[in-house]
């Protein structure tokens, strides 16, 4: 049962052309000193679930001057099991503490029972896009939105396994979730590219464009950009967020914002972390890409 009409949209609305970076422990000190140079900071929600301590205090301090986007990695919105109350309680406490501009998580499962006991898989585990999956995802998204009293956004993930049977393609599945829950979407361009590459589609760029074209554009609340360490052709490409956004990634980003208009954009870099300066350099590239698209649109209008 959907509760779309009850969902309070995320507040405050982020500017559509804002750019943020992921804040990881190695950069805490830098963020305190240079946070105003980005429009927002994204953190992984679960890293701040503690009752108190340095991470919690730091986030409170940073959030006083820089908007925070809370990105979860553990809710497991696609789990057959309901998200546990304790998880929702901790997330709600964090949301109340930092008043984030966006709360989000992934379209995947994490919780399941083994021998009657509930366990957590610790990763973004793929789900088939079936009616059954849709029902459970909708239930969990509704449950989280009700618990938080606000809209959340759901991100497409990389899937390294293929299912024999799907009732929807991924974009249609996401659109159906949006229609039934009123949630927003995070479009992770690198995840789409990695899936295209691993599926060895003929023209990955066309695949990305078709994927984006079929999404509900009005629901896209944030775009994620990241890099994956290149591997040999026969190997599986892993979405490791361990290097800069690739040239193909920047080209895809340009095409996406031309198609859907600028959106708050996040540079994700989680492993093999660069210096804070280099990370901010990636954010600057995103800003420039947005400006290029916007100025082109303005010049067309004036013609």
Partner 1 sequence: MNLSDYQSQFLAFLFGGTNEPALPNSEVYRFGVEAKAVRALELSYPTVKALVGPAAFEELALDYFRMIRKQSGDWSDFGWGFPSWMISHRISDRVPYLSDVARLDNYVGRVERSQYQEVDFESFAAIGEDLSSCRLILNSGLQFFSSVYPIVSIWEAHKSHTPQDTLSFAQAKRMIAKGRGQNALVYRAGWRGMAEAISEKEIALLDRLRKQPSIAEAFGDDVLNETNFTGWLQDMISKRVIVGARTIH
Interaction pattern, residues 171-210, with partner 1; x per rule: CB under 8 A:
----------------------------------------
Residue 54 interacting with partner 1 (CB under 8 A): yes
Give the distance from CA 41 to its chain's centroid.
13
Q: What number of chain residues touch partner 1 (CB under 8 A)? A: 45
Residue 52 interacting with partner 1 (CB under 8 A): yes
Residue 2 interacting with partner 1 (CB under 8 A): no
Cβ neighbors of 233 (< 8 A, separation 6 or more) are none
Interaction pattern, residues 137-176, with partner 1; x per rule: CB under 8 A:
-----------------------xxxx-------------
Residue 50 interacting with partner 1 (CB under 8 A): yes
Query: At CA 121, angle to CA 119 and CA 125, rounded to 5?
Result: 135
Residue 120 interacting with partner 1 (CB under 8 A): yes
**Cβ 229 to partner 1 shortest distance, Å:** 14
Say if residue 22 is exposed, middle or buried (CB neighbours under 10 Å; 0-12, 13-18, 19+): buried
Question: In sequence order, what E strands does the chain have?
Answer: 19-22, 40-44, 68-71, 102-106, 109-114, 117-125, 153-155, 184-188, 220-225, 265-267
Say if residue 200 is exposed, middle or buried (CB neighbours under 10 Å; 0-12, 13-18, 19+): exposed
Binding site for partner 1 (CB under 8 A): 46-47, 49-54, 57, 74-76, 79-81, 84, 86-87, 90, 109-114, 117-123, 125, 127-128, 130, 132-133, 136, 160-163, 236, 238
């Amino acid at each position: 049962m959907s509760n779309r009409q009850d969902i309070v949209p995320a507040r405050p609305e982020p500017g559509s052309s804002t750019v943020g970076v992921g804040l990881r422990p190695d950069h805490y000190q830098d963020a305190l000193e240079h946070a105003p140079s980005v429009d927002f900071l994204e953190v992984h929600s679960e890293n701040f679930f503690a009752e108190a301590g340095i991470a919690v205090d730091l986030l409170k301090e940073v959030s006083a001057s820089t908007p925070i986007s809370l990105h979860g990695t553990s809710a497991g919105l696609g789990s057959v099991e309901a998200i546990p109350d304790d998880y929702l309680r901790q997330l709600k406490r964090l949301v109340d503490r930092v008043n984030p501009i966006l709360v989000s998580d992934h379209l995947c499962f994490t919780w399941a029972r083994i021998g009657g006991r509930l366990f957590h898989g610790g990763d973004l585990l793929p789900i088939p896009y079936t009616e059954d999956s849709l029902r459970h995802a909708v239930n969990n998204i509704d449950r989280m939105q009700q618990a938080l009293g606000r809209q959340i956004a759901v991100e497409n993930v990389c899937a390294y396994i293929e299912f024999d049977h799907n009732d929807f393609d991924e974009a249609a599945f996401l659109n159906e979730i949006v229609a039934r829950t009123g949630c927003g979407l995070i479009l992770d361009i690198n995840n789409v590219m990695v899936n295209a590459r691993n599926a060895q589609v003929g023209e990955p760029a066309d695949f990305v464009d078709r994927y984006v074209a079929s999404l509900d554009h009005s629901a896209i609340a944030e775009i994620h950009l990241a890099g994956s360490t290149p591997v040999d052709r026969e190997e599986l490409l892993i979405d490791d967020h361990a290097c800069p956004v690739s040239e193909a990634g920047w080209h895809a980003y340009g095409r996406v914002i031309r198609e859907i208009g600028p959106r708050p954009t996040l540079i994700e870099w989680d492993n093999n972390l660069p210096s804070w300066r280099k990370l901010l350099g990636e954010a600057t590239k995103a800003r420039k890409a947005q400006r290029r698209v916007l100025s082109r649109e303005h010049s067309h209008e004036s013609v």
